[in-house]
Structure 1
Amino acid sequence: MDQRILKQRTALVLDQPFFGALVLRLRVLEDPTCDTMWVDGVTLGYNPAYVATVSDLELRGALAHDVLHVANGHCWRIGRRDLTRWNKACDYAINPIVKAAGMLLPEGALDDARFHGRSAEEIYAVLTQEAREEANRGSGGGEQNGPSDHGEPAVRTAGDPAGDSEPASGAEPSCGEVRPYPGPDVQAKDAEWKIATLQAAKAASMRGSLHGVMEAMVNQAAEPSVDWRAMLLRFAQQSADSDYSFARPNRRYLHLGFYLPSLYAPAVGDAVFVRDSSGSVFDETQAQFAAEITRVAETVQPARLIVLDCDVRVTQVQVFERGEPVELAPVKGGGGTSFTEPFRLVQQMDTVPAFLVYLTDMDGAFPDAPPDYPVLWASVTPLERARVAPFGETIEVIV
């Protein structure tokens, strides 16, 4: 191990016990093939040529940077994201925390006041949206989320095409590259680091060296990960009434002479999904939400699938009958935000849906009275910062 790295690890243990306790959990490996440094949840790799170019204080900051990548779970939350853009998003998320702890980062470390206090997933969504808009400008293409051309909402039915593509992102140097965790036990390693992070925070707090920004980061990093897709499907399935009925006896016991009721689920009524088209929900989130709409429709089999786009008014209505292929059109809109119109339109359609799911940033005017059916607010704003809906349930949708 490079003696300067050994020295700065010791300095972290003595002066920054939170970072020091966690950096000792990483195996240090000399790796001349990397550009700067990297971390994957087990190993901290470094290029000795790069280490030679930074000062002792910058090297200490770079080690703290790498530690925060793992403490925040960046190594096992990559998924299918673009790795270069994920690295930039993670850097934007943690570099302000390193600086708030009083440490120095190497020159060129990414920092943007827009992203302070945001998670890597939120920042990634912004970077993806900005890259897509830049690609559209470069190709002369128009925005997908443009306003409707007419005063009445556009109506699309099954069979209309929709699509999107992801532009590539350029590489930029970082003082600590995030790499995917190489082992098969991702969940176990995630849980292990959550516990270690809480223990390190407790030890640092007892010494009075845990800053407020870091305390908030630790609390957020320690929260259990919840799959919003599973929660959405569970909500939809629970909204379908199930009961026991003698009209359909349980065949398992008929040969024994027992006539017992069986559990059955009657046909589900209409399912309504509302997409906030004000521009506050980014394209990638809209695309993944559209995929989940299709999955829920295929699983629950509602009588009709009704998909509404709304900013301050309903800008598009799509209706799919049971059995029809669900091919959602691009989102239409681009104005402000009001939540009242979709509920009013559902009432005018003379239907009491089995449920309604509303994808939004939660920043708008809510209806005065709750409807007579279950409502799920799918918030793209983290719940600790989102407005509280006056009715229904709320889940966090961060992709």
Structure 2
Amino acid sequence: MANTSFDDIFQKVRINFLFNHPFLSVLALSLDTNFTENENSAFETNGYKIDIDLEKLKNYSEDELTYLYAHTLLHIVLKHPYRQKTRDPYIWNQACDIVINNILSSFKNIGQMPSDELVDEDLKDKCVEEVYEVLYKEEEKDNDGGDGEDEESEVKVTPDERGDLKAHQYDESKLDLQEVEDENTSSGEREKLDGIIIQALSIAKKSANHYSGLSIEIDTLIKPEINLQDALKEFLISSLFEKQSTYSRPNRRFVHSGLYLPGNQKSDEFLDVYIALDSSSSVTLDEYKKFLGVVADVCEGFYEYSVKVLPFDIKVKEEHIVEFNSFSTLKEKDFFIPKSDGGTNFDEVLRYLKQTDVRAENLLMVLTDGEFEISESMVCKTLFIINDKKNLTKFESIGRVMEFTL
């Protein structure tokens, strides 16, 4: 097929996007498109342009071409090349493709998915970083399990009528993410690209009822990245310490007007924190260590503090409670937690606290995936730190919620 014929096809595809998926149209009309020879896939991108191999396109129908174009645009709008960082490029590319194909499975008027594309519905409702972790662990498990292939693994790579394939089987010809070379992209070009992406994401966000599969990825991109230490410190100061009026610290907003009004000064209080630590299998030992490290570092910013860690699953594990304070800091031996394969009962934490001298002005921080319900009444100010995105809004009516993404 001649180059001009492909130009006509792409023009029709862009018109389709304009009427059916305007957020994709923003990118399709704004990004550079080059016709060239690609090393692997028919469509490839480095995050700010698209390279199209016309020879490889001959293997696809016009409907499949429409799908692959949309697939590549989603790589760009979701900044997949830039989010790779130091991750394994092969597994990262695979994770990105799975996320996008899961998203596109709910789109209408988006062409036809080629039969060699990966779909794994078990990985729906996860952002690409979470899918990468799943695939990375599968890869490690496969490498440790020997090089023989049994009948079951052979079945997993056989496509059914929908073209579904097991996620960890991946053809290198599908590698469509190129290496990002930031030094070749000027700050002006990056700002322009960010503006285009924000515009596209905003359009998609307004049509959330049509693009529900995109919501997790959009939220991952457009929310500001806040360091958990900074967020915790801000929360501790604003929630636990009342501001006192004092003339020794005048209000600077009115000084220029000749008015000497009192300013605010944080009271010097004792920081007393309880941490309910979900010790079921959903919270890893690595998360436990990093979280306690962050809490210990945050506490160091206060003159005097006391922290009590309550591991729990279906009950509070009293024999494994960890305590540290400003005079006896956290030790390496404290980085131990017995893991559980059982369920989670947060009500047991609340019942335990009601038998202690916990006060309403104390803070309870809960590190968990949020896979539980609460029937007991709360005992003090509570901060839920959730490591599962789907549960982030679950406890907003009874406490503050933060995402745990260390």
Q: Same fold (TM over 0.5)?
A: yes
Judged with a 3 Å threshold, the aligned counterparts in structure 2 of structure 1 residues 29 and 360 are, in CA distance, closer, same or farther, namely same
Deviation at 1:64, TM superposition (A): 0.8
Over the matched positions of the two proteins, sequence identity in percent amounts to 20
Partner of 2:49: 43
- Among 316, 320, 323, the alignment partner of 2:324 is 320
SS in 2 for 1:320: strand
CA–CA distance in 1 between the matches of 2:71 and 2:94?
A: 13
RMSD: 4.1
Partner of 2:33: 28
Partner of 1:391: 398
Partner of 1:214: 211
Partner of 1:90: 96
Partner of 2:357: 350
CA–CA distance in 1 between the matches of 2:215 and 2:356?
A: 47
Do residues 339 (structure 1) and 340 (structure 2) align? no
Judged with a 3 Å threshold, the aligned counterparts in structure 2 of structure 1 residues 32 and 288 are, in CA distance, closer, same or farther, namely farther
Is this contact kept in 1: 2:289–2:335, CA < 8 A? Answer: no
Partner of 1:365: 373
Is this contact kept in 2: 1:339–1:364, CA < 8 A? Answer: yes
Partner of 2:196: 192
Partner of 1:62: 68
SS in 1 for 2:211: helix
For structure 1, the residue ranges without an aligned partner over 5 or more in a row are: 139-168, 206-210
* Aligned counterparts, 1:93-242, within 5 A: 93-100=99-106, 101=108, 102-131=110-139, 173=172, 174=174, 176-177=176-177, 180=180, 182=182, 183=185, 184=187, 189-199=193-203, 213-214=210-211, 217=214, 221=218, 224-227=222-225, 229=228, 230-242=230-242
Is this contact kept in 2: 1:122–1:398, CA < 8 A? Answer: no
Is this contact kept in 1: 2:48–2:193, CA < 8 A? Answer: no
Deviation at 1:339, TM superposition (A): 0.9
Deviation at 1:201, TM superposition (A): 8.3
Partner of 1:148: none
CA-to-partner distance for each residue in 1:171-194, whole Å, 9 max, x for gaps? 853353265583457677445312
Structure 1 or 2: larger helix share?
2
Judged with a 3 Å threshold, the aligned counterparts in structure 2 of structure 1 residues 4 and 178 are, in CA distance, closer, same or farther, namely farther
SS in 2 for 1:239: helix
- Among 377, 384, 390, the alignment partner of 1:377 is 384
CA-to-partner distance for each residue in 1:237-278, whole Å, 9 max, x for gaps? 3234143377x9559x9xxxx9x8872441432222233222
Deviation at 1:362, TM superposition (A): 1.8
For structure 2, the residue ranges without an aligned partner over 5 or more in a row are: 147-167, 253-259
Partner of 1:150: none
Is this contact kept in 1: 2:27–2:196, CA < 8 A? Answer: no
Is this contact kept in 2: 1:312–1:341, CA < 8 A? Answer: yes
CA–CA distance in 1 between the matches of 2:83 and 2:6?
A: 27
Is this contact kept in 2: 1:312–1:337, CA < 8 A? Answer: yes
The TM-score normalised by the length of structure 2 is 0.70
SS in 2 for 1:371: coil
Deviation at 1:22, TM superposition (A): 2.1
Greater relative contact order, per chain length (Cα 8 Å cut-off, separation 6+): 1
Amino acid across the alignment from 1:274:
A
Judged with a 3 Å threshold, the aligned counterparts in structure 2 of structure 1 residues 35 and 220 are, in CA distance, closer, same or farther, namely closer
Partner of 1:10: 11
CA–CA distance in 1 between the matches of 2:355 and 2:212?
A: 49
Amino acid across the alignment from 2:321:
V
Partner of 1:309: 311
Judged with a 3 Å threshold, the aligned counterparts in structure 2 of structure 1 residues 109 and 4 are, in CA distance, closer, same or farther, namely farther
CA–CA distance in 2 between the matches of 1:355 and 1:319?
A: 15
- Greater Cα shift, 118-127 or 176-185: 176-185
The TM-score normalised by the length of structure 1 is 0.71
